[in-house]
Amino acid sequence: MRAFMTTGGLLCAGLLAPCATEVRADGFLESSTGTLALRNYYFNHDNRSAGNDRVEWAQGMLLDLRSGYTQGSVGFGLDALGLLGLKLDSTPAKAGTGLLPVHDDGHAANDFSSLGLTAKVRFAGVVLKTGTLLPKIPVVSYNDGRLLPQTYQGTQFEYTGVSNLYLLGGRLDQSKLRNSSDNVDLIPTGYKGAEHGDFYFAGGTYTLNKQLAFTYYYGELENFYRQHFAGAVHKTAVGPGQLTTDLRYFNSAGAGAAYNGAADADMFSGLLSYRLGGNTFAGGYQQVSGDSALPYLNGGATSSFTSPGVSKFILQDEKTWMLRYDYDFAALAVPGLAFMVRYYKGFDAHYRGLPADEHELDTSLKYVIQGGTFKGLGAEFRNTAYRSNVLTSWDYNRLYLTYDIKLW
Domains observed in the chain: 33-406 (2.40.160.10)
Output the pLDDT for position 375. 93
Is the confidence at residue 305, as pLDDT, over 70?
A: yes
Compute the average pLDDT of residues 376-390.
97
Compute the average pLDDT of residues 141-161.
97
CA–CA separation, 54 vs 52, rounded Å? Answer: 7
Compute the average pLDDT of residues 294-318.
92
Output the pLDDT for position 306. 86
Mean pLDDT, the chain, whole residue set: 93
Is the confidence at residue 397, as pLDDT, over 80?
A: yes
Please list, residue by residue across 139-174, b when 16 or more beta carbons sit within 10 angstroms of its beta carbon and e when fewer do.
bbbbbbebbbbbbbbbbbebbbeeeeebbbbbebeb
Q: Residues 115, 74: contact at Cβ < 8 Å? A: no
Q: Residues 233, 19: contact at Cβ < 8 Å? A: no
**Residue type at 142 in one-letter notation:** Y
Compute the average pLDDT of residues 103-126.
96
Q: Is 221 exposed, middle or buried (0-12, 13-18, 19+ CB in 10 A)?
A: buried
- Residues 272-282: tens digit of each pLDDT: 999 999 999 99
Output the pLDDT for position 309. 78
Is the confidence at residue 270, as pLDDT, over 70?
A: yes
Which of these ranges, 13-27, 149-163, 313-327, has the smallest mean pLDDT? 13-27
Is the confidence at residue 16, as pLDDT, over 70?
A: no
- Residues 188-212: tens digit of each pLDDT: 999 999 999 999 999 999 999 999 9
Is the confidence at residue 7, as pLDDT, over 60?
A: no
Per-residue confidence at 11, pLDDT binned at 50, 70, 90? very low
CA–CA separation, 16 vs 292, rounded Å? Answer: 24
Count the neighbouring beta carbons within 10 Å of the beta carbon of residue 61. 16
For residue 220, give the nearest of 194, 200, 192 by alpha carbon.
200
- Write out the DSSP string of 225-246: EEEEEEEEEEEEEETTEEEEEE
Output the pLDDT for position 5. 36
For residue 401, give the nearest of 37, 1, 40, 4 by alpha carbon.
40
- Residues 225-245: tens digit of each pLDDT: 999 999 999 999 999 999 999
On whether the pTM is more than 0.85, the answer is yes
Q: Residues 332, 349: contact at Cβ < 8 Å? A: no
- Residues 21-80: tens digit of each pLDDT: 444 447 999 999 999 999 999 999 999 988 889 999 999 999 999 999 999 999 999 999
Q: Is 106 left (phi over 0), alpha (psi -120 to 50) or beta?
A: left
For residue 358, give the nearest of 368, 366, 350 by alpha carbon.
350
Is the confidence at residue 4, as pLDDT, over 70?
A: no
Is the confidence at residue 166, as pLDDT, over 50?
A: yes
Output the pLDDT for position 317. 97
Output the pLDDT for position 1. 36
Is the confidence at residue 246, as pLDDT, over 90?
A: yes
